[in-house]
Amino acid sequence: MVPLASGFAQQLNPLSSTLGSTLVALIPIALLLILLAVAKVTAWLAVIIGAVVTIVMAIAIWGAPVGPTFGAWGVGAATGIWAIDWITFWGVVLYYTLVETGAFAGFQRWLIRQATADIRVQTILLAWAMGALLEGLVGFGYPWAVIAPILVGLGVVEIDAIRVAAIANNAPVSYGALGAPIIALAAVTGAPLLDLSASIGRIVAVLALLPPWILILLVTGRRGLRGAWPLAVVGSFGYIIGQFPTSQFLGPYLPDIIGSLVSFGALLLLLRFWRPAETLGFGGVPIEPGATPEVVAGNPGTGTPDAAGGSGLRAAAPGLLSFGILIAIVVAATGPWSHIGDYTFIAPEVDAISSLGSHDTVAVIFKFAPAIGGTWILVSWLVVLLVLRVRGSQITSALRRSWSQMWGALLVGPIIFGLAQVFNYAGMASTLAYGFSRVGTWFILLAPILGWIGVALSGSNTSTNALFGGFQYSVGTLLHMPALLLPSLNSTGAEVGKPVAPQTTSVGVSTSSYVRREGLVIRHNMGWTLVLLGWLILVGLLYWYVLPAGMRL
């Protein structure tokens, strides 16, 4: 470790009033949410303003020393760049490379041809399973943008297609963009990454039981549920069978990707031996049993016709091979058996003496370990380039499109992590946690709601975990709750709030006629996100009262 300064003693109650200090500590968070949700300030500018205000408050009100405060921001920013941006950028580059080469389109056509004309089959296979794959690779609302036009081409009303894509995108979000939200949560809580991946995976395994039933209800009503319950069961359990062990033993990088591929396989196996007795179209309208699924003309990723080219397994092979390369390399290099990523060149840190509990040392640390997950995603991409014989023009186009989509998010990441670490270092998070801990163990009901509110206003699970993760962890410590429970509920609460997040919705409707009409989509999605939030609160109570051991370090 390379200490940047000796620790200072945090102030728990700088205004000599628990309520007053708590309310003042809320100012940076409230300011961010107002800038994003009310003033409609772009995310990168909002977090710059929020960071400036947080630094001024840390120095002027909490008495943090000037040099170390800026050092804490720098350490946080470096973490955002290396632990988050480095992963998400190469994940998006890999996706756009598959788009540019046609490998993703071939995989997509093959999937569509496997489905029957029944909209329930198409919805579970495409919105649920393929949506999870896209979330695992890219995130940021992109699964909506790809899936919704496919569903429209299959007969679903456009605003309902967007809602189906959004609700299907709930359970996979914490592991989205190759695990970026959980990596963010580990960075601000100090909890071990694998333990957080495992605890969130346990919650997601229960949470994921419900959405497939909702999806069938949305496209065919109650009539459609009666004859298609095997789809909901196999779709949810297929994802869980892949997601759960991956999250428990391999970390946060691949649960969505492996979960989606296992779900594909389970659904395709089911369809070989079972089909719904009655073939239903959108709205539960019966259609001819012999009808075939329409092949969508228009891939939102490329703007080229999907109907062109083959749709057999041979067409899907390049995409499947690419996913296999990604899984093999990342698992081999980042699994518990690998110590390649343990080597750290430098690890600057800023210390403070906590104002909570036994006054332990609070350390804000950046570990520069070259062989981390993002590096192995880059290696996977390079191998895919060789295997698929990608042309230079396709590589250039993939990089250009990735940068065009990602530059704002890449800028937001380090700034908001710097803000979060100043918040933690100065003791503002401790003050906030102490104030909220006065609620007592009833806070278990608030933890997922705070995650829902955070993502609904900020648009990012990663940002929500950066803002609220350390605070939730501290509240749990003060209340003697299982250490991982509240941070895990924060992340999964952010999952179910995604369908009403303005920034996510803006990306999600980019391939529809609802561009600049995001408010209509958010209102259309709202009711079902509240249903899922209620389900998540019940899951949280299950792990608090019945299975607390699953949330302990």
**Helices assigned H by DSSP within 102-157:** 103-114, 119-122, 131-137, 142-153
**CA 501 – CA 506 distance, rounded (Å):** 9
Q: What are phi and psi of 5, to 5 degrees?
A: -170, 155
Q: Provide CB contacts within 8 A for 515, sequence distance 6+.
A: 509
Residue in 471, 368, 461, 356 with CA at minimum distance from that of residue 421: 471
**CA 497 – CA 357 distance, rounded (Å):** 33
Q: Within 13 Å and on the Cβ side, how many CA atoms surround 192?
A: 12
Averaged pLDDT for residues 477-502: 93
Residue 289 has pLDDT above 80, yes or no: no
**CA 447 – CA 457 distance, rounded (Å):** 16
**CA 291 – CA 269 distance, rounded (Å):** 20
Domain ranges of the chain: 2-551
Residue in 240, 186, 80 with CA at minimum distance from that of residue 553: 186
- What letter represents residue 215's amino acid? L
Place of tokens 């080219």: 309
**CA 443 – CA 472 distance, rounded (Å):** 10
CA 301, 302, 303, 304 torsion: positive or negative? negative
* Mean pLDDT taken over the chain: 88
> What is the per-residue pLDDT for 73?
95
pLDDT tens for 44-95 read 888 899 999 999 999 999 999 999 999 999 999 998 899 888 988 898 899 9
Place of tokens 């869980």: 240
**CA 117 – CA 121 distance, rounded (Å):** 8
**3-state secondary structure (DSSP) of residue 354:** coil
> What is the per-residue pLDDT for 109?
84
User: Which of 254-268, 341-355, 502-516 is most confident?
Assistant: 254-268
Measured CA angle at 206 (ends 204, 210), to 5 deg = 100
Decide if 278 contacts 225 (C-beta within 8 A): no
Share of the chain above pLDDT 90, in %: 58
pLDDT tens for 402-435 read 898 788 878 888 998 899 899 989 999 899 999 9
pLDDT tens for 93-111 read 999 999 999 998 898 888 8
Question: Beta strand 2-9 with 348-353: parallel, antiparallel or unpaired?
Answer: parallel
Residue in 48, 89, 139 with CA at minimum distance from that of residue 410: 89
**CA 235 – CA 268 distance, rounded (Å):** 10
Q: Which residues pair with 5 in a beta bridge?
A: 350
Averaged pLDDT for residues 239-249: 97
> What is the per-residue pLDDT for 310?
63
pLDDT tens for 433-478 read 999 999 999 999 999 999 998 887 667 898 899 889 998 999 999 9
**CA 459 – CA 104 distance, rounded (Å):** 26
Question: What is the H or E stretch that residue 430 is in?
Answer: helix 428-437
**CA 72 – CA 100 distance, rounded (Å):** 40
Decide if 429 contacts 486 (C-beta within 8 A): no
Query: How many CB atoms are located within 10 Å of the residue 26 CB?
Result: 16
**CA 477 – CA 457 distance, rounded (Å):** 27
Better-predicted residue by pLDDT, 202 or 367: 202
Share of the chain above pLDDT 70, in %: 93
Residue in 384, 387, 377 with CA at minimum distance from that of residue 331: 377
Residue 335 has pLDDT above 60, yes or no: yes
- What letter represents residue 275's amino acid? R
Q: With cut-offs at 50, 70 and 90, classify the pLDDT of residue 261.
A: very high
Q: What is the CA radius of gyration of the chain?
A: 23
pTM value is 0.87
> What is the per-residue pLDDT for 291?
61
> What is the per-residue pLDDT for 268?
93
Decide if 478 contacts 434 (C-beta within 8 A): yes
